Amino acid sequence: MVALLKQKFRTELSFDEVVANHPGFPRLIARKIDVQRRGVHYTERAAAAFDPDLHQLRSPYIFGSRDGEIKPLPESLLLRDGTTILVDPTPLAQDPYIVDHRDGRFVLIDDGEQVEDVDLWPKPAYYGKLTSSGLPMSHIVSARPQRLNVFQSSFCYFWADKQGCQFCDIVTHTKQQRDELGVPNRLRPKDVKETIAEAIREPGRFTSLCLTAGSVIKGAKLFDLEVDFYIELLQAIGENFTTKKFPSQLIASAFNEKQLARLYAETGLTSYTSDLEVLNEDLFNWICPGKAQHVGYREWKNRLVRAVDIFGRGNVGTGLVGGVETAQPLGFKTEADALASTLAEADWLAARGVTTVYIVWVPRPGSAFKDQKAPSLDYFIRLAQGLQDIRASHGLKVDFDDYRRCGNHPDSDLARLA
């Protein structure tokens, strides 16, 4: 697959110029954002320095990469403050950061200048092992520095109806992973339970679990089948723990109260996230047509609010594809308008106990928005600070989705000081 993106970054303000305008914003988090916006390219010298016994190479993931390829490259990076950068290999033509290996260290290079030391993610001990059914455990559960990811099913019914979210490449990437790596379409609870059991034998390695997948609209009530899948899986996972509840996040469809109550009562799940993706009703209808048709923007928000009664304040969240609100032709025309609108909606949710986090939007080659342009670094800095300020003003914590439990949200990285 060939990436078609042509976004150029040299015509923007430089990193130093942008950061100088935000003296109260951590430079390292700004760097994380910028690396995520632009992607990375590994030099041959860096590639020669990877040690597959020590470093985690790319494992199955729910979304694809900017180069549209699955190659044995490092999974991702860590900054020296413990901040995770989830970033994917990016063609040189798109002006990514360079990861090189100099004087025995991996370093980030921007415009020829060495700007930061980075560490590669360490390989977890369970990678390379097989389940009793003979599957590679790394294909069942993938690792982040401190989190276990369970991508339960690789299918999204919205895509099947040609109503997939326009920024998303889940099905494109799933097919690629199945064809090239043999990753199963749907996980069996027994395989997941075995893999989790093996993973948590490693002392000090993991602090939480995250389950997510595409939406499953089938069942007596909308999403009943999706809920059944998750309950079966979470119950199997729960057999590995001595406590009924275990630190965990489910990122799933907007379930009704009965479904949420079942999830809470029948499993060890501790937090619930359902992604609105974009905080504007008109844009939601355009960008997420499947979600809009089956649930609707207002009902999706209301379901999040009702989830707070079940999971508690600070344990319910919604995720945004930060920046997608500027997609054209229907998105906001200015970054200032986009930011003001998004933060106002996030404040409404926070007042009702729902926390909002974002990921940096990367127009991916396997998505409908592949030719769009993401907003500026300045926008992403303001969005991160704005969301964290809102959280703080409402006394909301985001423990289940912070720098350590997740690592993919610049706004919740800032919660380390809260």
Q: Which residues bind another protein (CB under 8 A)?
A: 26-29, 54, 78, 80-82, 119, 121-122, 145-146, 202-205, 404, 416-417
- Least distance from C-beta 118 to another protein, angstroms? 11
- Least distance from C-beta 76 to another protein, angstroms? 12
Q: Write the CA distances from 194 to 130, 187, 220, 232, integer angstroms.
A: 9, 12, 31, 14
Q: Which is nearer to another protein, 24 or 134 (CB)?
A: 24
Per the CB < 8 A criterion, the answer to whether 222 and 149 are in contact is no
Q: Write the CA distances from 95 to 108, 109, 114, 344, integer angstroms.
A: 13, 11, 15, 34
- Least distance from C-beta 243 to another protein, angstroms? 14
- Least distance from C-beta 23 to another protein, angstroms? 9
Distance, CA of 156 to CA of 199 (rounded, Å): 27
Q: Which is nearer to another protein, 119 or 281 (CB)?
A: 119
Per the CB < 8 A criterion, the answer to whether 39 and 87 are in contact is yes
Residue matched to tokens 């928000």 = 301
DSSP string, 325-356: GG-TTTS-SSHHHHHHHHHHHHHHHHHTT-EE
Q: Which is nearer to another protein, 56 or 94 (CB)?
A: 56
Contacts of 175 (CB under 8 A, 6+ apart): none
- Least distance from C-beta 54 to another protein, angstroms? 8
Burial 216-241 (b: 16+ CB within 10 A, else e): bbeeeebbbebbebbbbbbebbbebb
- Least distance from C-beta 404 to another protein, angstroms? 6
Helix, strand, coil shares of the chain, percent, nearest 5, are: 40, 15, 45
Residue matched to tokens 């109550």 = 261
Q: Which is nearer to another protein, 125 or 261 (CB)?
A: 125
Q: Which is nearer to another protein, 110 or 402 (CB)?
A: 402
Q: Which is nearer to another protein, 15 or 121 (CB)?
A: 121
Spatial strand order of the sheet with 77-78 comes to 40-42, 97-102, 105-110, 113-120, 77-78, 84-85
Q: Which is nearer to another protein, 166 or 208 (CB)?
A: 208
- Least distance from C-beta 410 to another protein, angstroms? 13
- Least distance from C-beta 82 to another protein, angstroms? 4
- Least distance from C-beta 60 to another protein, angstroms? 20
Q: Which is nearer to another protein, 99 or 279 (CB)?
A: 99
Burial class (CB in 10 A: 0-12, 13-18, 19+), 7: middle
Q: Which is nearer to another protein, 55 or 373 (CB)?
A: 55
